[in-house]
Amino acid sequence: MRKLSLALLAGVALVGCGVDPQAENQEIVSNLVKAGFPADDIQIVDNQVYVGRDAHVTLEASLEMLQADKGAEQYRTTNLVSTSVKKICINPTSAFNSYSRLSAGLDAAIANYNSLGLSFTMVRGPATGCNANISARTMSGAGGSAGFPSGGLPYGIINIGTGLQSYSSGVNKHVISHELGHCIGFRHSDYYNRSISCGGSATNEGTAGVGAILIPGTPSTATSGGSVMNSCFSSSSTGTWTSSDRTALYYLY
Ligand SMILES: [Zn+2]
């Protein structure tokens, strides 16, 4: 992903009326910095603001993060999906459905969640009676992106890399379960040191407390392969929840 420096952003002038996407992004970045996210972890790609490389942040979500109490340091965002949401429909685009591994991975990810008997059920759309909808779309590469909940609803889009067509069904299940995990409020389990799952040098997505709340009963330290919500996946992943993933999901939902 390309990185755009904050200095450059700050130079964007406010022009005209209505919603100026650049001005809005500037406000989101400003809110995230106030909420404690390190500036170099905030990226703007295709006019959307991301933290932690794959989590899209809307203006509304950034405002809610500002208002939240500071928590202790598996990690969740301050915003969660309301318990009144019982049926979450995941609606793949026709492009998404044209990739057999992605399409099967979506079914497997939905089954992954439904196997736990949580407060909500996920359903592959189109479907009726949905309390919330998430659009499953494609992107380039072999990763994914999503966002965090706001207003009691899950984030409404997951983008899944079409390069995953050449990975195993387990990896597809893993990545789609992971991106849906962001939509319902999970941060990366190794957010404080991405090198645990990604290798390379240690990078921290932001430890300021806001938006990275340790879920009771889960370890505060991440291990490679220890969570579907780690920043990077292994090409040998089966996509099955780990015990701490299950503990976190049961606790929240
Ligand atoms: Zn992620």
Global pTM value: 0.75
Is position 116 within any domain? no
Expressed in angstroms and rounded, the spacing between residue 191 Cα and the centre of ligand 1 is: 9
Is position 38 within any domain? yes
Cα–Cα nearest to 9, from 37, 34, 39, 36: 39
Expressed in angstroms and rounded, the spacing between residue 126 Cα and the centre of ligand 1 is: 25
Higher pLDDT among residues 58 and 202, named by residue: 202
Instruction: Name the residue with tokens 């969570």.
Output: 227
Is position 65 within any domain? yes
Residue-averaged pLDDT of the chain = 83
Q: Is the per-residue pLDDT at 51 higher than 80?
A: no
Residue 31 belongs to domain spanning: 6-69
Expressed in angstroms and rounded, the spacing between residue 239 Cα and the centre of ligand 1 is: 14
Q: Is the per-residue pLDDT at 11 higher than 80?
A: no
Count the domains in the chain. Answer: 1
Expressed in angstroms and rounded, the spacing between residue 226 Cα and the centre of ligand 1 is: 14
Is position 47 within any domain? yes
In one-letter notation, the amino acid at residue 205 is E
Is position 14 within any domain? yes
Is position 138 within any domain? no
Is position 108 within any domain? no
Mean per-residue pLDDT, 3-14? 30
Instruction: Name the residue with tokens 């938006």.
Output: 211
For residue 59, the model assigns a pLDDT of 74
Is position 31 within any domain? yes
71-121 per-position pLDDT tens digit: 322 888 888 999 999 999 999 999 999 999 999 999 999 999 999 999 999
